[in-house]
Amino acid sequence: MDIKLIQEKIAEYKAKGCEVPEPEMIKTPEQIEGIRAAAKINNACLDLIAEKIKTGMTTEEIDALAYDFITKNGGIPACLGFYGFPKSICTSVNDQVCHGIPDKTVLKSGDIINVDVTTIYNGFYADASRMFMIGKVSKPNQDLVAITKECMRRGVEACKPWAFIGDIGAAIAPFARKHGYSVVTEFGGHGVGVDFHEEPFVCHDSKKNTGMLMVPGMVFTVEPMINAGRRNVFIDSTNDWTVYTQDGSMSAQWENTVLITDTGVEVLAW
């Protein structure tokens, strides 16, 4: 869609009182190609991790795999040094909700782990995460992983031009709760592409037809964090990063980077 037409349509929504994106939130075709190139490396990195991850491996070994792959392909792991984050990726195991720091932790049969990878390539960012089930995982934990993936899918499905960011959480939260789960709201999705975390913030529990208007050219993440128990979380005071469920219940997360197109949505990073 012609950027002139997009701007006209945005002005109409703004006149009606809708929250609309700032001009820099609408990526140019050149920027989109740049993000696509970063996503290609990021996707291949997660594919490699999917292939290699197994019982007995440490989370530090997964981190090394990601660092080597991303740098060998000319990229930079965005997490490394981000506000002092010490590793290249986040690895969040079992009751860790997000921002787990790779360390000597050995993966054991029954664990569920989120691996969150963000690549910078040529100045552009792509951000995605997947869950992995290690060895033999209990049925309740298998369900949590599968339902959380479906939460992400439903969130992505709600993304289309002239819909609203609030539609994403409206598609996710009732579905998660129907399964007895809760939705973390302290952390959420975000614009991405030219920087790691851009506006808008994407809350995974929200109301339909609220929040910012979605416009062709916007790039952001959908990354629901779903707890098997209560929604409350806390941050590990020993490292100021790792987020845990307060009640010790299991937590899962999946993340895609998506592009709003003229007709719908395209998943760039998965």
Contact footprint for Co ion (CB under 5 A): 116, 127, 129, 221, 255
The DSSP result for the chain, as a single string, is --HHHHHHHHHHHHHTT-----GGGS--HHHHHHHHHHHHHHHHHHHHHHHH--TT-BHHHHHHHHHHHHHHTT-EETTTTGGG--SSSEEEETTEEE-PPP-SPBP-TT-EEEEEEEEEETTEEEEEEEEEE-SS--HHHHHHHHHHHHHHHHHHHT--TTSBTHHHHHHHHHHHHHTT-EE--SS-EEE-SSSSSEEEEE-SS--TT-SPBP-TT-EEEE--EEESS-S-EEE-TTTS--EEETT---EEE-BEEEEE-SSSEEEEE-
| 95/255 with CB nearer ligand MF3 | 255
| 61/116 with CB nearer Co ion | 116
Q: Closest distance between ligand MF3 and the C-beta of residue 139, in Å?
A: 28
The item of ligand MF3, Co ion, none sharing an interface with residue 61, based on CB under 5 to 8 Å by kind, is none
- The residue with its CB nearest to ligand MF3 is 79
Q: Closest distance between Co ion and the C-beta of residue 258, in Å?
A: 11
Stretch that binds ligand MF3, among 55-63, 76-84, 176-184, 202-210 (CB under 6 A): 76-84
Q: Closest distance between ligand MF3 and the C-beta of residue 102, in Å?
A: 10
| 13/85 with CB nearer ligand MF3 | 85
Rg (CA), the chain: 18
Stretch that binds ligand MF3, among 79-87, 154-162, 172-180, 210-218 (CB under 6 A): 79-87
Q: Closest distance between ligand MF3 and the C-beta of residue 60, in Å?
A: 15
Q: Which of 25, 41, 70, 90 binds ligand MF3 (CB under 6 A)?
A: 90
Which pair of tokens denotes residue 204?
């995974």
Report if residue 255 touches ligand MF3, rule: CB under 6 A: yes
**What character string, x for contact with ligand MF3 (CB under 6 A) and - otherwise, covers 161-200?**
----------------------------------------
Q: Closest distance between ligand MF3 and the C-beta of residue 79, in Å?
A: 3
Q: Rounded to an integer, what distance in angstroms lies between the CA atom of residue 73 and that of residue 87?
A: 18
> Which residues would be at the binding site for ligand MF3 (CB under 6 A)?
79, 82-83, 85, 90, 99, 116, 118, 127, 223, 255
